[in-house]
Amino acid sequence: MGDPTRREVLKRLRGGGRSVGEIAEGMEVSRPAVSQHLKILKAARLVTVHAVGTRRVYAVDTRGVESLRKWLDGFWDEALTAFKVMAEREATKEKKR
Amino acid sequence: MTEPTMSRSTDANRVRKVVSVQAPQMVAWRVFTEKMGTWWPLAHYKIGGANAVDAVIEPRVGGRWYERGDDGSTCQWGSVLAWEPHSLLVLSWDISADWQYDPTLKTEIEVRFSADGSDRTRVELEHRHLDRYGARRDEMRRIFDTEGDWGRLLEAFARAAEA
């Protein structure tokens, strides 16, 4: 998800739903590559897809609390892992005193 | 190496984490409360305009929880709801989905420290009342649709989700 292409895809969806072709327009990667990124974003529940006529339109998943909960879940994993490292470093330092 | 465990709870209104730390309870408490600036991912998770250099919890009930910028400015994140040294800390997290301080929001973060032998501590964290964002969902959507700061939150989420 730290991939710059995926961030660019998300950015392009901020203005509303778009098809793969519309998303890929003007990007340096191929359309199949964009499709692949969309698949990953969809699996992460950051993006949803629905049909409009014969087109498949991708949009940002705005299911409020659930998106937020998922974000916080990842956030606390990152923060607590960093906390653990610092607490253990501090404990080692104090032991040596 | 012990990673924080992923919550399997189906309750959408809370996030729960448990981490086991190889440090005495007092040290774990001190690093969490007094030295938050040494481990909080300040580069990504801060709300002020300045570069954040520290995260501070004032050590008393009613104390402020804030970030300090390199220009000396401070931005509040929440406040201390419970302060029981070495065992229990409850903070309010009043940062809205558009990444601004909103004192009416009051989601809660409870952190419990318990000794697991003399030099290991179990730290349980629960971030709850996420439904309090629910009332603002329409507002969030509007902000999002007009290319607001919501996108920043989402990008931060994307980075976190990758980790």
∠ at Cα A43 (A41, A48), nearest 5°? 65
What per-residue confidence (pLDDT) applies to B111?
A: 96
Which whole number is the average pLDDT over B5-34?
81
Sort out which chain B residues have CB atoms less than 8 A from A70's CB and list them. 157, 161
What per-residue confidence (pLDDT) applies to B133?
A: 64
When CB atoms are compared, the residue of B3, B17, B160 closest to A71 is B160
Looking at chain B, the whole-number percentage of residues with pLDDT higher than 70 is: 69
Residue A63 pLDDT level (bands cut at 50, 70, 90): low
DSSP assignment string, B99-157: S-B-TTT-EEEEEEEEESSSS-EEEEEEEE-GGGGGGGHHHHHHHHHTT-THHHHHHHH
Residue A62 pLDDT level (bands cut at 50, 70, 90): low
The answer to whether the CB atoms of A87 and B21 lie below 8 A apart is yes
| Encoded tokens for A93 | 């330092």
Nearest CA in chain B to A41: B158
The answer to whether the CB atoms of A82 and B123 lie below 8 A apart is no
Domains of chain B: 15-132 (3.30.530.20)
The answer to whether the CB atoms of A78 and B140 lie below 8 A apart is no
Residue B110 pLDDT level (bands cut at 50, 70, 90): very high
The answer to whether the CB atoms of A16 and B145 lie below 8 A apart is yes
The answer to whether the CB atoms of B13 and A74 lie below 8 A apart is no
What per-residue confidence (pLDDT) applies to B83?
A: 98
What per-residue confidence (pLDDT) applies to B7?
A: 42
DSSP three-state, residue B46: coil
Which whole number is the average pLDDT over B139-148?
44
pLDDT at position A92 over 60: yes
- Residue pair A62/A46 in contact (Cβ under 8 Å)? The answer is no
Q: Which residue's entry shows tokens 């996030």?
A: B15
Nearest CA in chain A to B146: A15
The answer to whether the CB atoms of B151 and A65 lie below 8 A apart is no
Residue B37 pLDDT level (bands cut at 50, 70, 90): very high
Which one, of B133, B140, B154, lies nearest residue A60 by Cα? B154
CATH class of A4-60: mainly alpha
pLDDT at position B155 over 70: no
When CB atoms are compared, the residue of B38, B131, B162 closest to A1 is B162
pLDDT at position A80 over 70: yes
pLDDT tens by residue, B114-129? 999 989 999 999 988 8
Residue A73 pLDDT level (bands cut at 50, 70, 90): confident
Sort out which chain A residues have CB atoms less than 8 A from B131's CB and list them. 65
Residue spans of the domains in chain A: they are 4-60, 63-97
Radius of gyration of chain B (CA): 16
**Most B-contacting residue of A41, A80, A89, A97 (CB-CB within 10 A), to test interface:** A80
| Encoded tokens for A55 | 């087109």
- Residue pair B104/B93 in contact (Cβ under 8 Å)? The answer is no
